[in-house]
Copies of this chain bind each other. A is one copy, B any other.
């Protein structure tokens, strides 16, 4: 299922491949976000042209809208959004805690009110797996409790307990079905090393196909986050894929790859695109350049900046996307000024291409022992 092809001699980075029922994925990889079964502002065909290997959707959102039963009758999530590559869904735990204002954790699951219409729901570990089975995704995540980055020791310890209990229940529910889906467990523990270690021992004891580090980039100090990644990664089982949830900026991804992380997802490329911020590779000495890897650097371009109003250069002359080669920065600036959807699409294409190329460069780097 997961195979390491090469290990870096310089860092803990690994090059590998992950087999799913919708194809094999080269690791380390990045998953564009299609929370509600749509990568905002672009089509699945465009995503495929960009070279995306796998996308991420969300159990909580799809359960509420349009409902997993509709997607199941549609032949599954792949058919619904017309994407034939692998799909991973988050379990919905994080969304219940971040979106639903009224929620109550009970031993059997989490009771919450829909952020859409206020209707009451109970999400149990079993239910979360059943939904993800109905969606027919390739990788399912176990239901977890994700405390905020400011949570105190006691709260995080309690979250660990429930997360472990639910993970066991998820595993049991998953094993009932013979479908070709992978189940990943999520390690919590906040910024407390001993709680991280506790959660790691608990979750990895379940011998699941893969493990995720959850509960990071949720409001904790940045140095603590790096600290935890550095601390926890070497302790994860070598032979299982490692997924760092919700991260991050390019330099954060590079950092985590060096610690041995294989999988990433993040809203940054798509969300920042909507604010007109474009990520582009550049020369290391260029103004505003952020160096990330050997001689690799990037900068961001803010389309709404007045200086682009008469910049007749291509949006991205190095892009493989024709639209980004053909349209100019001046036109992009204009599109953002008039709030035109095409602008969001161009920026999204630009940023996802950047993130996907970044992962490609990282994989090349590992191969050549430069990472």
Contact = CB atoms under 8 A, between A and B. Distances in A.
Given A341-B341, A341-B344, A330 B43 contact: no
A322 interface: yes
A74 B330 contact: yes
B327 A82 contact: yes
B344 A73 contact: no
| Interface residue tally on A, bucketed by range | 35 or more
A111 to B, nearest CB: 24
A231 interface: no
Contact of A38 (B41, B73, B342): B342
Contact of A334 (B42, B65, B341): B65
User: How many copies of this chain does the complex contain?
Assistant: 2
Contact of A65 (B326, B328, B338): B338
A70 interface: yes
A333 B66 CA distance: 9
Contacts of A81: 331
Contact of A341 (B82, B312, B345): B345
Contacts of A312: 73-75
Contact of A310 (B37, B70, B340): B70
B322 A45 contact: yes
A282 interface: no
A342 B43 contact: yes
Given A36-B340, A341-B344, A323 B45 contact: yes
Contacts of A66: 309, 330, 333-334, 337
Given A322-B45, A335-B38, A70 B330 contact: yes
Nearest to A39: B342
A2 interface: no
